[in-house]
Amino acid sequence: MEILDRYIEQLLKESTPQAPMWNIEKIKAGKKPSWNYIDGCMIKAVVELYQITGKPSYLEFADHFISYFVNEDGSIRSYHPEEYNLDNVNAGKTLFDLYRLTGHEKYRRAMDTIYSQLVHQPRTSTGNFWHKKIYPHQIWLDGLYMAQPFYMQYEAEYRNGENCLDSYEQFLNVYRLMRDPLNGLYYHAYDDSRQMFWCDQVTGLSDSFWLRALGWYAMALVDTMDVMPASLSREKEQLKSIYRQLIDAMLPYQDKETGMWYQVVNRGGIRPNYLETSGSAIFSFAILKSVRLGLLDESYRPAGLKAFEGICRTQLSEKEGRLQLDGICLVAGLGNKEMREGTFDYYMREPVVSNDAKGVAPLVLAYVETLWLSHHS
């Protein structure tokens, strides 16, 4: 898709490790560059682009970017494992591919650095990783995407699969604790301590079904199943069933015209709810990748393509020679200083921005899936 190719070139040309133009949170806050999940999402997408196109400039960009943060001894600039922040594990996923493609030993050592965080990561009473040290006793759907694919792959490749079942069981707990049995959707967060003002005192759950959180969870399932060792075939079947139930629960809420989904998934007709780009792109990617991997059958592919085409048609535009991707919710979470209460009104209050990697990266990943399709059709 020519417009998307140009858009990707524009983003890469204007970005450096010190100033990635897709990290709108950093730009808005005027913060220094740091190891973070947003850049991790984008670099993972660039590496996948390289794998499908073979274009050297993509690999060079990704290698240069990650290399800026990773020191020879495997320590990582601005990364502090003792913060126990699952978001910071996400960029670690790029290290597997970069180590394989470049042979730089420092990438192998950096994987150990990140793994050391997970070894000591505090856990809920159910055995799930805390989302962050600053969010004690809490499981957020986001955290499964940030940490579990890395955890599963590291265990499978470097530890003989020793704790692969632990990763699997964390998904089962989320299915048990955070899924609404009536509509099959998942709540954004769960507080094991029932102490947080935003949670239901009986269930520990937050209030709403936020699109991107559901998307993070869907991608977590697909990417984790992708790296599970063959010895866990029974467990993989179980995750496949959980994943299929999730997609089946999402499809009735897909917008007929654009193929996108709403910011709060199940309240489409209620103003000021809006069709949100990042979560829609995530589901497009997850569906297309899972059909390619045989986790869903072919009948699901049109829904993934419809979302991809709808986003490109309605959210990607060119103004005065500059391309931009609109409709991206910047951030959303629970609690903290801003007293984020997780209601419908809260998710409507968070800013909507353009060109943030939380929307761009999954759209690029969905694009890669369409390229796989054209290569093999």
Residue 272 CB neighbour total at 10 angstroms: 9
8 A C-beta contact, residue 75 and residue 24: no
**Helix, coil or strand: residue 75:** coil
**Helix, coil or strand: residue 342:** coil
Q: What is the DSSP string of 202-234?
A: TT-B-S--BHHHHHHHHHHHHHHHHH--GGGHH
Residues 6+ apart with CB under 8 A from 1: 312, 367, 370
8 A C-beta contact, residue 65 and residue 80: no
Both tokens of residue 155? Answer: 């265990």
CA angle 11, 350, 268 (to 5 degrees): 100
- Is residue 142 part of the annotated active site? The answer reads yes
Task: Give the H/E segment covering residue 157.
Answer: helix 141-158
Instruction: State the catalytic residue, choosing from 142, 207, 223, 356.
Output: 142
8 A C-beta contact, residue 176 and residue 102: no
Write the burial class of residue 52 (CB in 10 Å: 0-12 exposed, 13-18 middle, 19+ buried).
middle
Catalytic residues, by residue number, are: 142
